[in-house]
Amino acid sequence: MKASERVAQLIKIWPKVYPNAHTELNFKNPLELLIATILSAQCTDKRVNMVTPALFKKYRSAKDYAKAPQAELENAIKSTGFFRNKTKSIRAATSTIAKKFGGKVPDSMEKLRELPGVGRKTANVVLGNAFGINEGIVVDTHVIRLSQRLGLTKEKDPEKIERDLMKLVPKEHWTNWSHWLIWHGRRRCFARKPDCANCEVFRLSRLGMAGRLSSVALGVCSKLFELLFQLLQFFVGEIFQIDQFISRLLQRTNDFVELEMHRFGVAVLGVLDQEHHQKSDDSVAVLMMSCHVSEK
């Protein structure tokens, strides 16, 4: 089955399995989503959602974040990890938004990429979920893992994986595609011990396809062995019949030889007996002649 065919089937299955799939970061506007996405790097959405309520209440505009003291913002987001680098990214990005884009988060890939600390993944999250724009496919650790397990890419680099997926997945599904794979990665297709036994799309995965091919190959091998066994039985039967024929032939040959030897023996004995009688008759004749001479 081609990758495009698997994608077509997956698009039919995913909405039934995850009808309410969405980003699990809590937000009310594009700015909040941008901040939450920056915080989600190397951190769970659950942890981010624990931090953002107080953060969003305190800082309501791009200017608020830009003016926030480094130490103060670091302390507010410390539990999300890598808080120093994240603080620098948030302050730099919001400063650019405030100065260059009038305090509003831009709604294009090109302009979002101008923001310090904002890469393609973050831009795709904001565009797809805050603006409803399918500009690309979000490729995080779950999307990378599932894309490879589903046999949709052989690449390891996120941007190369995104290009492969964009060729296979219709554009109108790009945002949802990320949600579907992320949700499945968090609920079924775990990194270490995937729940393959209960996986709704296992048959479409590389492992599932390999299992099906193995079953087919096993069936073919089974048929071949059955045929070979039948052929072996046939040849053994033929060999057995030949063996019986040879045995009968040898027995008949032995019987013939014995019969002929018997006949030959009888004939020889007859000849010897005749010679014996002839010699006896000759001896009697000589004896009688000797007696006759003596009488004279």
Q: Write the pLDDT tens digit of every residue in 209-264.
A: 887 545 555 455 556 656 676 776 776 666 667 767 777 777 777 777 667 666 66
More confident residue, 276 or 231: 231
Question: 114: which 2 tokens?
Answer: 């101008």
More confident residue, 189 or 281: 189
pLDDT tier for residue 64 given thresholds of 50, 70 and 90 = very high
Per-residue pLDDT for 41 more than 70?
Answer: yes
Rounded-to-integer distance, Cα 47 and Cα 24, Å: 11
Per-residue model confidence (pLDDT) at position 145: 98
Per-residue model confidence (pLDDT) at position 237: 66
Per-residue pLDDT for 103 more than 80?
Answer: yes
Per-residue model confidence (pLDDT) at position 218: 47
Per-residue model confidence (pLDDT) at position 266: 56
- Cβ-proximal residues to 275 (8 Å cutoff; 6+ apart), any chain: none
Per-residue model confidence (pLDDT) at position 169: 98
Q: What value does the mean pLDDT take over residues 271-295?
A: 55
Rounded-to-integer distance, Cα 134 and Cα 153, Å: 20
- Cβ-proximal residues to 87 (8 Å cutoff; 6+ apart), any chain: 70, 73, 74, 77
Question: What region, left, alpha or beta, does residue 116 occupy, with left being phi > 0 and alpha being psi -120 to 50 degrees?
Answer: beta
Closest CA to 45 of 131, 115, 142: 142
Per-residue pLDDT for 295 more than 60?
Answer: no
Supply the pTM of this predicted model. 0.72
- Cβ-proximal residues to 36 (8 Å cutoff; 6+ apart), any chain: 25, 26, 27, 48, 49, 52
Rounded-to-integer distance, Cα 90 and Cα 121, Å: 16
More confident residue, 168 or 256: 168
Question: Positive or negative CA dihedral for 59, 60, 61, 64?
Answer: negative
- Give the least confident one: 21-25, 220-224, 292-296: 292-296
Residue 140 annotated in active site: yes
Active site residue: 140, 164, 167, 279, which one? 140
- Per the prediction, the chain carries an average pLDDT of 87
Per-residue model confidence (pLDDT) at position 290: 58
Rounded-to-integer distance, Cα 209 and Cα 212, Å: 5
Task: Provide the CB-side half-sphere exposure for 87 (13 A, CA).
Answer: 17
Per-residue model confidence (pLDDT) at position 223: 63
- Cβ-proximal residues to 7 (8 Å cutoff; 6+ apart), any chain: 152, 168, 169
Active site residue: 86, 121, 195, 281, which one? 121
Per-residue model confidence (pLDDT) at position 42: 94
- Amino acid code (one letter) for 289: M
Per-residue model confidence (pLDDT) at position 249: 74
